[in-house]
Amino acid sequence: MSQENSTSEQTKETRKKLLLGGLILLLLGVVYFQFFSGSAAPGPTRGTPANVRIVPSPTPPRQTPQRSGTPEPIISQPLDLASMRQHINSGSGTGRNIFIYPTPTPPPPPPRRPPTPTPTPFPINIFSVNPGGVIARTGDFTLTVFGEKIPQDAQGSINGSVYPTTVVSATEIKIKVPGEAIRSPGNFGVMIRSQNNPNIFSNQYSLNVAQPQDPPYKYIGLIARKSSSTAVLKSQNDDDVYNVKKGDIIERRWKIVKITPEKIEIEDVTIKLERPHIINYSGEAR
């Protein structure tokens, strides 16, 4: 009985060893299949020529996220210009390089302008006058003209009209201007000419002749008396009313010269005019 038990135990032990060995062989087969069967190079695919080399696509660069959460832009690879030129030259067509453009025709040079001629200086040069300006209707006056290269036979003129001239020196003359020459306002031209040589003359210098100021009043009424008449004047500036007689002076400037029912004559005592100002009767009520 004990012998049968021992034989049965040995049989079980043998089966266990065989089963363990089979499991080990199966595990080794699985490991071999996983590590060695996948590395075998695949054969040529049907429809693909055997002499064509398959180049794997380049792996795109891996994006590294920025700290702000926005991915960095992908920088493209530089172009292979040599390969592009070889491909263009080997293709069909005329073989012209499309990236080479003809040199544009340069614009024609600008036309040469003739040089500006230098103005010929005047033989006589006037650079100032005294007085520099006058008031119209102020009567005769003497105008002193200063310049250079003034000849001894110099003759002064205003607006083309010549007047008696005295040559003081080669830099100064005096012109006696009558009152009739400045009866109207404006800019008058002063010049000097040689009486014997018409080619010797000066530049034209401007003399300002201003309009005299008119009295700022209106003649609005007359109070007639046997002894004297009284004129009623109204100021145009502040509407003040003045009752004046002949000989009165208003605002230390305007002197009443004559009073009639039709007009009143006023003289400016600050300047000497050839004739007084005239204000006609307006008939305006106060």
Which residues partner with 146 through β-bridges?
Answer: 128, 172
| SS3 (DSSP) at 122 | coil
CA 179 to chain centre: 49
The residue-averaged pLDDT of 252-281 equals 93
Residue 90 confidence (pLDDT) above 70: no
Q: Give CATH superfamily name and number for 125-210.
A: Immunoglobulins (2.60.40.10)
pLDDT, one tens digit per residue, over 175-227 is 999 999 999 999 999 999 999 999 999 999 999 999 999 999 999 999 888 77
Q: What is the CATH number of domain 217-280?
A: 2.30.30
* % residues pLDDT > 90 (the chain): 50
Query: Domain extents for the chain?
Result: 125-210, 217-280
Summarised one tens digit per residue, pLDDT across range 33-64 is 777 665 444 444 444 444 445 445 555 555 55
Distance of CA 117 to the CA centre of its chain: 30
User: With bands split at pLDDT 50, 70 and 90, how would you rate the model's confidence at 31?
Assistant: confident
- Average pLDDT of the segment spanning 155-177: 96
Residue with token string 């306002």: 185
Q: Do domains 125-210 and 217-280 have the same CATH topology?
A: no
